[in-house]
Amino acid sequence: MGSYEYYPLETGETALLPQETELVINTRSGHALLIDWERRVVGAEMYFAPFELPLIQILLHAWPSYVEYSKCIRTLIPDPRLAEQFVQCIGAALETQNKLVLNVALEPLRTVLYGCNERLNVIGLEIAAVYESGYLLTKRHERDNQEHE
């Protein structure tokens, strides 16, 4: 039997999900359901791997705020010394405006978040970058698929 967390993802002014709908996550298995309580139906289901789940949880808990790079990295990398090296590298890259080093240091995090995004997109959500700061859970923005001349 698992432990469940419920995320309605709505404040007084902003909602990421339709009214009476929650994302319900089993924190032991990583299984997640989008439940419409009014209609009493499961709108979607997905699974987050053990290394993805803590990242998804910090983004959900922080919403509507963003999560700083340092917290994301410390959540993703279980070895505190290695995580701290990444955080220091990111900090130095931001301070010196070295985009190459910043991109290299963020690549493992971006790769994991990209995989999570594929599942979140199904329910109309995405993880968006907050310029040189961190990541934020938000509504999915439709991309213009037309070619530009």
Question: How high is the pLDDT of residue 142?
Answer: 57
State both tokens at 100: 């190459």
Burial of 99 (0-12, 13-18, 19+ CB in 10 A): exposed
Round to whole Å and give the CA distance between 52 and 109. Answer: 10
Regions of the chain with pLDDT less than 70: 1-2, 142-149
Would you kindly state where each structural domain of the chain is located, as residue ranges?
Answer: 4-139
DSSP 102: H
pLDDT at 4: 93
Measured between alpha carbons, how far is 55 from 136 in angstroms, rounded to an integer? 11
pLDDT at residue 124 in the model: 92
Residue 148 pLDDT = 35
pLDDT of the residue at 43: 87
The reported pLDDT for the residue numbered 2 is 60
